[in-house]
Amino acid sequence: MAAPAGEAHGTQLLLELFVMLGGAKLLAEIFAWLRQPTVVGEILAGVLIGPQVLHLVAPSETSHVLAELGVIFLLFNVGLETKPSSIFKVGRMALLVAVLGVVVPMACGYLLMMAWDGNKIEALFIGTAMVATSVGITARVLADMGLLDSTAARIILGAAVIDDILGLLVLAAVASAAKGSVNIAEIATTALLALGFVAAITFLGAPALTRAAPHFRRLRAGNESFVIAILLCFGLALAGTYIGVAAIIGAFLAGMALAEAVESNHDVHQQVRGATEFLVPFFLVNIGMQLDLSVFTNRQSLLLALVMTLVAVLTKLVGCGLGAWGLGLRGAAQVGVGMVPRGEVGIVVAQIGLGVGVITESLFGAVLFMACATTLIAPPLIRPLFASQKT
């Protein structure tokens, strides 16, 4: 009996992979013909094939693992195209963008919920969900356009790393407050570890890997540079989770640390790009599958979801745009829109709030709607803003 059961499980897995990847690529092709960002098509594919419409597949452990691998490879690939020196040039502005991109959405989200129902803990969690930024979405659009080396793109990437650290600290403080106390020492320790991790990889790891790169060729197992690159990606992603920052930040830092070391190694870039193209659709489809359409059945929940989405878009656009005002109106708009997607990060914050019992199911649905809607709204706005720009 064990063999048939295992075979059935394998068949189901292959069916899920076929439907998710096939659906994503079909919708991506349609959106490419319509001259729209393919990212939007791949997310909408998740909505269509998921439990809300066609019921072909549902979020599962398999889809979550593939999605996590997809976004890890996406950010690793982006890191390989980003030299540390290019981030240093925009460091101050990226810091200002990140800080304003946390403060403005947090404050407005909190005030929105206080005006809506007056529950302070709920308001804090919604404000925290507003803080999140899913840089993977913006990075995918800019990578497709060949604009990862633009000034605005470098600011977005630098701000996203800082944003993740600040968002982590805000989430830790809010989660502690929900339990009745705030552990200052624990939050400070997490902050120091996160900052130390980023600094160590950027200032020490990158130069060390550049010096070590010529020695990679002495290995004889085959594809040695690619194997080392992938091990570093997984290793720093894992280290990031232990320290408390997102795995994708560790993956991005791994790519950035290797950027100069493998700059002339086209084989590594091609191999990473191939793995990325295979895995990223699962990340995008998984976001779409988690959209809860039941929010449309309740007028109050729908109204809150729409208002929350509007506030989420405007607060990132204004907050991050003000931080990048030195680039001019167009540059500020590019950075502001690039920081709009909440994606899987906003969903995770909402799941934590639901798990500890501080937000209701209807509010959770509204946050899911906001996270998915901002993810769908941003790419069509990013494309025209960057359309005429040269790297």
What confidence tens digit (pLDDT) does each residue in 222-275 have?
Answer: 678 888 899 999 999 999 888 877 788 899 999 999 988 887 778 888 999 999
Q: Which of 11-20, 302-311, 331-340, 382-391 has the lowest mean pLDDT?
A: 382-391
Q: What is the mean pLDDT of residues 315-327?
A: 94
Averaged pLDDT of the chain:
86
Model confidence band, residue 311 (pLDDT cutoffs 50, 70, 90): very high
What pLDDT, on a 0 to 100 scale, did the predictor assign at position 263? 74
Q: Which two tokens stand for residue 81?
A: 């195209």
pLDDT at 1: 47
Q: Is the pLDDT of residue 3 over 60?
A: no
pLDDT of residue 28: 93
- Structure tokens given for 56: 């072909």
Mean pLDDT computed over 171-191: 76
pLDDT recorded at residue 76: 93
Of 156, 88, 152, 172, which is closest to residue 327 (Cα–Cα)? 152
Q: Which H/E stretch holds residue 165?
A: helix 151-178
pLDDT digits (tens, 9 = 90+) for 69-97: 998 999 899 888 888 888 888 889 999 99
Percentage of residues in the chain having pLDDT higher than 70: 95
Structure tokens, 387: 């359309």
pLDDT band at 172 (very low <50, low <70, confident <90, very high): confident
Give the pLDDT confidence of 354-370 residue by residue, as tens digits.
777 777 888 888 888 89
Please name which of 354, 318, 348 lies closest in space to residue 335, comparing C-alpha atoms: 318
Residue 375 has pLDDT above 90, yes or no: no
Whether the predicted pLDDT of 221 surpasses 80? no
pTM: 0.83
Confidence grade of residue 167 (pLDDT, cut at 50, 70, 90): confident
Residue-wise DSSP of 46-81 = HHHHSTTTT-S----HHHHHHHHHHHHHHHHHHHHT
Full set of structural domains in the chain with CATH: 23-386 (1.20.1530.20)
The tokens for 312 are 């989420």
pLDDT, mean of residues 94-108: 94
Confidence at residue 193, expressed as pLDDT on a 0 to 100 scale: 87
